[in-house]
Structure 1
C-alpha cells in the first residue's frame, strides 16, 4: 500500500469521527500487527483530536486533521 493511500485511509477514519453527531466524543483505535498503538478521540465541542500513544503513554492535542493523520502514520510505520 502506498503512503498516500495509507494516509487517505487514516484521514477517512478521522473524518468519520468529525461527522458522528451521535457522540460528543468519538474515538478510534489504531493497531499495528494486532497491537494497539494509539487511541484518537475527537471532541466535537472544541473540534480537536486527542491522540494517546500507548507505548510512550504520551497525549497530544491537534486541531488539524492532517497533522494528527501524519502522527498516526508515523506510529504505524515505525
Structure 2
C-alpha cells in the first residue's frame, strides 16, 4: 500500500503478557513487577499465586487496589502509563 505505516505493537498486549508471566512463574510465591514510563515508576504489581489476586500500588498516591481479573488490572496499568 502506498503511504502505509507500520503498526505499533499493542501496549495493552505487552502488559497482559507480563501479567500472564507472573501467573506462570508464581509457584505459590508472590511475584512482583514494576511498570514505568520514561524511567518514572508508575505502579508496583504483586501477584499472589495462592489466591490468584493482583495487587496494584499506585506510586504517585500510595493507594493500593486488588483485582482478581487480569483484564481489569491490565487496563488500570495501561491508564497509569498514559498520563
Q: TM-score w.r.t. structure 2 length?
A: 0.86
Secondary structure of the corresponding residue to residue 34 of structure 2: strand
Structure 1 unaligned runs (5+)?
Answer: none
Counterpart of 2:12 in structure 1 is: 7
- Moved beyond 4 Å, runs of 4+: none
**Residues 74 and 32 of structure 1: CA distance in aligned 2, closer, same or farther (over 3 Å):** same
Q: Matched residues in 1 for 2:31 and 2:41: separation?
A: 17
Flag the structure with larger Rg: 2
Per the alignment, residue 67 of structure 1 pairs with: 72
Q: Separation in 2 of the partners of 1:6 and 1:37?
A: 15
What stretches of structure 2 of length at least 5 have no aligned partner? 1-7
Q: Which of 46, 52, 61 is 2:57 aligned to?
A: 52
Q: How does 1:14-53 map to 2 (within 5 A)?
A: 14-22=19-27, 24-53=29-58
Please report the TM-score for the alignment, with normalisation by the length of structure 1: 0.92
- Is 35-44 or 15-24 further displaced after alignment? 15-24
